[in-house]
Amino acid sequence: MREDKNTEFKREFTDEIKKTVVAFANTDGGTVYIGIEDDGVVSGVADVDEMFVKITNAIRDSIRPDAIALTELKTEERGGKQIVRLNVQRGTARPYYLAAKGLRPEGVYIRHGASSLPASESVIRDMIKENAVSFESERSLNQLLTFERTDAYFQKKNKAFAEEQKKTLELIGRDGTYTVLALLLSDQCPYSIKIARFQGTEKNVFRDRREITGSVLAQMENAFEYLNNFNGLKAEFSGLERIDTFDYPQEALRETLLNCIVHRDYAFSGPVLIGLFDDRMEFVSLGGLVKRLKKEDIFLGISLPRNPNLANVFYRLNLIEAYGTGILKIKEAYRQSNVSPIFEITDNVFKITLPNIHFKSVRENDRSVCLNKTELSALHLFEKQKELNRKEVESALRVSQATAGNALRKLEQARLIDRIGNGKNTVYRKKE
């Protein structure tokens, strides 16, 4: 037997034992053998009872949270000598730390190989986050809350939203005060959704900016309405049958927005960010995957909500289903198209990109040129008439002078049309 991640030898009692107990409790548990040298030679313990008292007092007085319940002391005989065996289980209230040092790297230890090392600040934060009560269940600092928009939404869904329902849904805690969940559903909700609409496919020129505030239910309705205003509808014909399709499948748009609201980490104060481009919509919410969940798991329909009480409210309102079908629905909505949604996940961010299924790429001279709907429509005009001026494009497409000019400029830069003349006499001709 030798020292390793779960085993440590001590010749006698020292303060180092407390660090080892903290490290085992914070990692995967382990055993400390007192009365054995570092090289494994048994030296024994002269007074086992006294050793039991020393160890018990040290753990009880020096380690927080209380770790006594995680430990077990036993005696063993090896080579005719008595040793003390201290078993330590992995704790459920991590991080454990030395009371005199506090929740700092010099007070929090983890096991690495055969050593007990100070935990980094990021590791400490992760342990706190993993074992904390869900943020939505904590007491709201703001207790002066009103629920006009949420009450109106519950009425629209024919659902009661009185004091009794607020308690059942856990908007009101056991102490009779409003929880963070109540804050999220209140008119005073401090979180928001920020939407930026850009020209083209890059973040260079803003067309519009919007910040949506209020109850998360109001944010959901207002954000969806705003985004849907830019969700173009394209009509195609199959024989005599007309088939209408949106740039962004509405099921995918709906599920992505709901994902941002229901599963974001409200312990972060930043807003949900949504970017609108000609070729895509980008949704960025704070909070990566819930601990112990992997990216592969969510594509199998595994659901582990970060905010179970908020998810329950949305479930009661028939906005989401009880199981993790949201991601699967987003993927399924694109099944018949040539593009697919993109999911990007880091420790603290979840990003979903929805591609515009009607956005076209025109290839010219082995170069891929991305055109939006207006630019593509302008290009199609030259298939019927070889030469056009700006006013004719403006009239045919029913767009503004600036929009027509921008479309023609893009086609010219892409070397799809030639500009002939200057000023009022300027005309454009498709390249042969």
Residue 350 or residue 245, greater confidence: 350
Return the higher-pLDDT residue of 237 and 336: 336
pLDDT above 50: residue 249: yes
pLDDT digits (tens, 9 = 90+) for 13-29: 999 999 999 999 999 99
DSSP assignment letter at 186: S
pTM value is 0.59
d(CA 295, CA 302): 10
Q: Which CATH number fits domain 360-430: 3.40.50.2020, 3.10.180.10, 1.20.140.70, 1.10.10.10?
A: 1.10.10.10
Reported as a single tens digit per residue, the pLDDT across 33-76 is 999 999 899 999 999 999 999 999 999 999 998 999 999 999 99
| Torsional class of 427: left (φ above 0), alpha (ψ -120 to 50), beta (otherwise) | beta
- 273 exposed, middle or buried (CB, 10 Å; 0-12, 13-18, 19+)? middle
| 331 or 296: which leads in pLDDT | 331
> What is the structure's pLDDT at 162?
95
Q: Mean pLDDT throughout 329-348?
A: 90
Domain borders along the chain are 7-131, 193-355, 360-430
Residue 149: what pLDDT?
96
- The average pLDDT across 258-272 equals 91
pLDDT grade, residue 188 (50/70/90)? very high
| pLDDT of 367 higher than 70 | no
Q: Can you give the pLDDT at residue 365?
A: 45
Single-letter residue type at 397: L
Q: Which fold has domain 7-131?
A: 3.30.950
**What mean pLDDT comes out for the span 409-413?**
85
Q: Is the pLDDT of residue 132 over 80?
A: no
- Smallest Cα–Cα separation from 33: which of 55, 58, 63? 55
Instruction: Please state which architecture CATH assigns to domain 193-355.
Output: 2-Layer Sandwich (3.30)
**Amino acid code (one letter) for 151:** D
| Token code pair at residue 158 | 């024919």
